[in-house]
Amino acid sequence: MFFNELEEGEHTLELETLENKSGRIKPGGSAFRALHFTAN
């Protein structure tokens, strides 16, 4: 979704950190990187 597709008004960004799945090559972590987040 792009910023110009949002309707006017308040917006909420919700993230969920999931548990590591068994059988993965490498265990996961809880890091998150947001390159750019724009709110109106």
Q: What is the pTM of this model?
A: 0.30
pLDDT tens-digit series, residues 4-32: 787 888 877 787 777 777 777 777 666 77
In this prediction, residue 8 carries a pLDDT of: 84
Name the domain count of the chain: 1
Segments forming the whole domain that contains residue 26: 1-39
- State residue 40's pLDDT score: 54
Statement: residue 37 has pLDDT above 70 = no
Q: What is the pLDDT of residue 39?
A: 57
pLDDT class of 1 with cuts at 50, 70, 90: low
Q: List Cβ neighbours of 20 (8 Å cut-off, separation of 6 or more).
A: 27, 28
Yes or no: say if 8 and 40 are a contact pair by the CB < 8 Å rule. Answer: yes
